[in-house]
Structures are given as structure tokens and as C-alpha cells.
Amino acid sequence: MPDPLGDDRLDEKEKMIREQLVARGIEDTRVLEAFREVPRHLFVREKDLPQAYEDHPIPIGEGQTTSQTYMVAAMLELLELEVNEKVLEIGTGSGYESALLSRLAREVYTIERLRTLYESAQDKLKKMGYVNIHFKWGDGSLGWSDKSPFQAIVIGAAAPQIPPVLMNQLDEGGRLVLPVGDRKEQILTRVTRGGDDFKIEKFMTCIFVPLIGEEGWKE
Ligand code: SAM
């Protein structure tokens, strides 16, 4: 997706991919290509433009952040998305990860609980021409039942436990990737559905903003 301002910041993007993703073990070529296609600097506030490709989360307003690129890449790699799949994202935030998901899957359904972020991400992604992303304002901890089942679900906020309601919205073979833990620190976790069985795998420690909602934390 080209930058409408003609400022693609290709060198910074390539450096970020090389030093923050590939050097730390991200190997999935489709994931790396998605990072090449999506201009991260168009998803941060003007005052934060100089740090758009730096190696840390960036504030997006409302006390929220767009996550560190490595953490986003690790989650996308764990999702193992195929081109014909349907994915649910909980926590639209800036819309950056929604744009990446739209390069990896057929349809992206994304839910954000904060109205201002929901509106600005939707407005931005539509103007940028992403046509396979569907937006909802509300509590994503309950999922999006009338659009389920999903082949993949990703939560960009920390959950106190794996929400059973989301496990039930997974398709056969579906993957749910989320940070699980307390409000200070979590473990990146993947749940894979096989019939009524759910395989649970734990990966690295991480720190995310809290998932606020019925299946998350109280505000
Ligand atoms: N991946 C996003 C990006 O690329 O900008 C950043 C996600 S940010 C770390 C987490 C987001 O989850 C915040 O925007 C927050 O408002 C949202 N959130 C928290 N609880 C939620 C819930 N129950 N339903 C939907 N969104 C929620």
C-alpha cells in the first residue's frame, strides 16, 4: 500500500524488518512481506512520526499503544494464516495490525471497545483502500458470534484467562493467539482446536494493555 504522501520511508522499514524481526527469528515469508507492504508511519500520530519504526510500543491516544513490531510479528507467525482464511482481531487500536492481517487472510473482522480508536482506524483503513476489513465497536472479549467460526483469532490485549467463549468461536483446526496472565506480565499463548479438544502452547513473556470486558478485566 503506497504512502499517499509519497514518503514511503522504505529504508527505515527495511531496517526494522531486518533488525527487529528477522534478527530475532521471524522466518515466515508471508508475515515479513506483510510488514513490507504496510507503512507503519501512517498509523501513528503526527508527533510520533520520528519513532514510527523504533523498537518499542508507540502511544496512539486514549492510554493505548500500537504494540512493538516484534511482538506483532510473533503473534502473526503463531496464527499460521492461510490466504483463504477468516480471522478475528480483538483490539483494533491504530489499525496497523488489522492492515497486516488483511495481507495474510481473506477476511479480517476487528473489534475495538474505544469509540475514538474504532472510528479513526476504520476511517483510515477505508481511505487507504483496505476492502477486506470489517469493523465493530464493542466488547471483543465476547467475540463476534454471528460471524463465527473463525480459522484464527488474535487478541492484542492481556486476558486474565483464555475466554471459553472465544475458544468456541474457533473453527476446527482454528488457532487463538493471546497474552494470558496478570495485569503486569503475561505469557504469549496459542490455543489450537481439534474437535472438543484444545491444545494449549505457551511461548514468551510479554506486557500488553489489559483486555477490558466481560471475559477480561473490569475497568
Ligand atoms: N494491534 C493494535 C495496533 O496495531 O495498533 C494495538 C492493540 S492495543 C495494544 C490493544 C487494544 O485493545 C486497545 O486499543 C484497547 O482499547 C483494545 N481493547 C481492550 N479491551 C478490549 C475489548 N474487550 N474489546 C475490544 N478492544 C479492546
CATH number reported for the structural domain that contains residue 113 in this entry = 3.40.50.150
Rounded Cα gap, residues 192 and 198, in angstroms: 5
pLDDT at 1 over 80: no
Contacts of residue 117, Cβ cutoff 8 Å, sequence gap at least 6: 60, 61, 62, 64, 92, 93, 94
Q: Helices (H) and strands (E) in the chain — how many of each?
A: 6, 9
pLDDT at 67 over 50: yes
Rounded Cα gap, residues 41 and 46, in angstroms: 9
214 inside domain: no
pLDDT at 5: 47
The answer to whether residues 161 and 180 touch, using CB atoms and an 8 Å cutoff, is: yes
Give the residue numbers annotated as catalytic, written as ranges. 67
- Average pLDDT over the chain reads 96
C-alpha cell at 21: 524481526
Rounded Cα gap, residues 149 and 145, in angstroms: 8
Q: What's the 93 CA to ligand 1 centre distance in angstroms? A: 5
Residue 1 CB coordination number (10 Å) = 15
Question: In the chain, where do the E strands start and end?
Answer: 58-61, 64-66, 86-90, 107-112, 133-137, 150-155, 170-181, 186-194, 197-206
| Vertex 6 angle, CA 62 and 56, to 5° | 35
Q: What's the 86 CA to ligand 1 centre distance in angstroms? A: 19
Name residues contacting ligand 1 (CB within 6 A).
60, 64-67, 90-91, 93-94, 96-97, 111-114, 117, 139-141, 156-157, 208-209, 211-213, 216
216 inside domain: no
Q: What whole-number percentage of the chain has pLDDT above 90?
A: 95
Domain that residue 27 falls in:
10-206
43 inside domain: yes
The answer to whether residues 92 and 60 touch, using CB atoms and an 8 Å cutoff, is: no
- When pLDDT is averaged across residues 73-89 and rounded to a whole number, the result is 98
User: How many domains does the chain contain in total?
Assistant: 1
Query: 219 pLDDT band (50/70/90 cuts)?
Result: confident
User: In this predicted model, what pLDDT tens digit does every residue of 142-157 receive, in sequence order?
Assistant: 999 999 999 999 999 9
The answer to whether residues 210 and 158 touch, using CB atoms and an 8 Å cutoff, is: yes
218 inside domain: no
88 inside domain: yes
213 inside domain: no
Long-range CB contacts for residues 47-50, cutoff 8 Å, separation at least 24: none
217 inside domain: no
- When pLDDT is averaged across residues 27-40 and rounded to a whole number, the result is 97
Mutate to test the pocket of ligand 1, among 40, 75, 92 (most ligand atoms within 8 A of CB): 92
pTM: 0.96
202 inside domain: yes
